[in-house]
Amino acid sequence: DEVFAEARRYFSCRFVYMLGPPGAPVAKVSTCLEKQYSYSFIDFTSLLQTYANSDEKDARKVKEELSKGKPVEASIGCPLILAEVYRGMALGVQNFVLGGFPQSLKQVEFLEYRVPCLARPLLLDFSRA
């Protein structure tokens, strides 16, 4: 068990879920982590906006949910983030900063079930500043 735990620690992907209220500098902090510690930054909000402006069958639904500020269904958003993670893994990346992800518990469960990882959330809360 101890050997497995050590192997998992060194060979699993690492996810930092970067979250914050509207206006929080999620992208700016994520970019700093990318430059300083070689994490790969995946901007979930940008992925969703690109998808919403595409000709995909669920694009209109995503556009509506984004405009209302509602979470996007896990069945739509998760394959998008998973494709980006797999693309990074194919290039040898193991450390990811996921900006704006997750929007729901189902999204976390989906990703962590499919990609063995160590994950940590980071909430940017400047309300006390």
Q: What is the CATH number of the domain that holds 6?
A: 3.40.50.300
Residue 71 lies in a domain: yes
As for how many domains the chain has, the answer is 1
Query: Residue 77: CB partners within 8 Å, gap ≥ 6?
Result: 44, 47, 48, 62, 71, 101, 103, 107
Residue 115 lies in a domain: yes
Q: Which domain holds residue 69?
A: 2-123
- pTM summary value: 0.83
Q: Mean pLDDT by 10-residue block, N- to C-terminus, for the chain (129 residues)?
A: 68 87 86 91 94 94 92 92 94 93 89 89 73
The pLDDT, as a whole number, for residue 9 is 62
Contact 118, 14 (CB under 8 A): yes
Residue 63 lies in a domain: yes
Residue 129 lies in a domain: no
The pLDDT, as a whole number, for residue 61 is 94
The pLDDT, as a whole number, for residue 8 is 62
The helix or strand, by DSSP H or E, that contains position 128, with its residue range, turns out to be none
The pLDDT, as a whole number, for residue 7 is 63
Residue 128 lies in a domain: no
Residue 107 lies in a domain: yes
Contact 58, 112 (CB under 8 A): no
